[in-house]
Amino acid sequence: MTACPLCQSLQTSLVYSVYDAPLFQNKVYTTEKLAKAVPTAAIQLRLCHACGFVFNAIFDASLMSYDNHYENEQAHSDYFQHYLANIISLFKSKSFLSKKIIEIGCGKGFFLEKLIAAGFNVHGFDPAYEGRHAYIIKDYFSDRYPHLAADIIILRHVLEHIQNPLEFLHQIASAVNYRGLIYIEVPSLAWILNHVAFWDIFYEHCNYFTAQSLSFLFDKFELGFLFNDQYLYLIADLSHLKKHITPTGSNSLSCKHFLKLVNFLNFYQKKLATQPGTALWGAGAKGVTFANLIDPQKKYLSYLIDINPKKQNGYIAKTAHKIIAPSSIETTKITDILVMNNNYYAEIKKSISTLPISIKKLKIRYNVPLITT
């Protein structure tokens, strides 16, 4: 696929490639053998020069199967909890409390449960939901549920997984007769490029939005940023969803922005080769992607560290690096810790300070700090 799935322009260029990426970054495996046997696929990101949308031109949705190995819960972090509280405060400021809400792709229902605890009237949809709450339906949202008339649709971290986002939004809008508001939240491509975060590009995300490309979806909208600008949100009335997208204005993205990703990746491959004993903090999508790109043969990174008990003592996809708990650091030969998300740096430093080890922050001019134990 070379045509842009957003605006249909043929003015696209290949800007970034990975040839052997695991399909899922958030699946954890009980043995090294299972982890190494996971299916992989290629990523070929193309940039649309007309609208600035970036998409994986060879993404295959039929390969994606979310099962009980999938574990992307981040709620063990105080910083992440604060971010969720900010969303709830935003919703209250928009008078969402008095509205009927549907969250599409609610996952395990953690955020939805926080909304209910805060007094919101909300139902969720997710075919992979594993719980038993009656207010979450194990299905895809559609017009088969007219009794759950919604004033507001929540779409948090779903649209980046959808191969044809405009078509998908029209399916949702049609199910509610193009009435009500929609809240969309996606990773910010601008943040990824500004921080040269090659570890934020993975197979599960088949597309990447800037504020400009996301805004092309609607005639009228409100845009904002969350999670220290890593996430981009849009609020719009579904009646303003465009039927076709005709880009206006100049696109600020170019191929050179993605060349920096490749250069930074090469830098880390050389740097870690000289730093044995380095571990990654964060066994989520960022950490798993980083490990697979930088240390595919498991030569340099000793472990991944994570505070999620469901991940600890498991193995990440493809490389089969082991995931350990923070309390296990002192029993290893870890000498350096590479933090995969700067948002958690202060929290991680505080966590390590409770262990019987001394730490200090190494100065580094790149966006991922190093902690020395």
User: For the residues of 209-233, what is the DSSP string, one character each?
Assistant: B-HHHHHTTBSS-EEEEETTTTEEE
Hey, what long-range contacts does 249-254 have (CB within 8 A, 24 or more apart)?
249/212, 251/48, 251/49, 251/50, 251/51, 251/52, 251/212, 252/52, 252/210, 252/212, 253/47, 253/52, 253/54, 253/189, 253/193, 253/210, 254/47
The per-residue pLDDT for 367 is 47
Instruction: Give the total residue count for the chain.
Output: 373
Phi first, then psi, for residue 290 (nearest 5°) are: -60, -50
Q: What is the DSSP string of 54-121?
A: EEETT--GGG----TTB----TTSHHHHHHHHHHHHHHHHTTGGGSEEEEES-TTSHHHHHHHHTT-E
* Rounded Cα distance, 64 and 57, in Å: 16
State the amino acid at position 115 in one-letter form: L
Neighbouring C-beta atoms of residue 263, cutoff 10 Å? 10
Task: Tell me which residue of 232, 235, 197, 194 sits closest to 212, measured CA to CA.
Answer: 232
The per-residue pLDDT for 68 is 57
Neighbouring C-beta atoms of residue 221, cutoff 10 Å? 18
- Mean of per-residue pLDDT scores for the chain: 90
Looking at residue 358, what DSSP letter applies?
-
pLDDT in tens, 195-214: 999 999 999 999 999 999 99
pLDDT in tens, 79-101: 999 999 999 999 999 999 999 99
Q: pLDDT confidence of 370, banded at 50, 70, 90?
A: low
On the CB side of 264, how many CA atoms lie within 13 Å of its CA?
Answer: 21
Which are the contacts of 297, defined by CB distance < 8 A and separation ≥ 6?
319
Task: Tell me which residue of 328, 269, 273 sits closest to 304, measured CA to CA.
Answer: 328
Of all residues in the chain, what percent carry a pLDDT higher than 90?
Answer: 68
Q: pLDDT confidence of 76, banded at 50, 70, 90?
A: confident
Q: Which residue bears the tokens 């740096």? A: 345
Question: Could you name the CATH architecture of 274-372?
Answer: 3-Layer(aba) Sandwich (3.40)
The per-residue pLDDT for 361 is 42
Q: Rounded to the nearest 5 degrees, what angle is found at the Cα of 327, between the Cα atoms of 227 and 367?
A: 35
* Rounded Cα distance, 217 and 182, in Å: 12
Q: Which residues of 10-44 are buried (b: 16+ CB within 10 A; e: fewer)?
A: eebeebbebeebbbbbbbbbeeeebbeebeebebb
Question: Does the fold of domain 274-372 match that of domain 78-240?
Answer: yes
Q: Inform me whether the pLDDT recorded for 358 exceeds 70.
A: no
pLDDT in tens, 237-292: 999 999 999 888 778 888 888 998 988 888 888 888 888 888 999 999 999 999 99
Widest pairwise Cα distance in the chain: 61
Q: Inform me whether the pLDDT recorded for 372 exceeds 60.
A: no
Q: Which residues of 82-108 are buried (b: 16+ CB within 10 A; e: fewer)?
A: ebbeebbeebeeeebeebebbbbbbbb
Q: Inform me whether the pLDDT recorded for 360 exceeds 50.
A: no
Please give the CATH topology (third level) of the domain spanning 78-240.
Rossmann fold (3.40.50)
Reported in sequence order, the residue ranges of the chain that DSSP labels E, i.e. its strands, are 12-22, 28-29, 40-48, 54-56, 100-104, 121-125, 136-137, 152-156, 181-187, 207-208, 222-226, 231-237, 278-281, 301-305, 315-316, 323-324, 336-339, 360-362, 370-372
CA distances in angstroms from 195 to 191, 243, 372, listed in the order given: 6, 34, 22
| pLDDT mean over 65-70 | 66
* All structural domains of the chain with their residue ranges: 78-240, 274-372
Confidence (pTM): 0.93
| pLDDT mean over 318-335 | 91
Q: Inform me whether the pLDDT recorded for 130 exceeds 90.
A: no
Q: pLDDT confidence of 105, banded at 50, 70, 90?
A: very high
Neighbouring C-beta atoms of residue 244, cutoff 10 Å? 7
Q: pLDDT confidence of 373, banded at 50, 70, 90?
A: very low
Write out the two tokens for 116.
């209910």
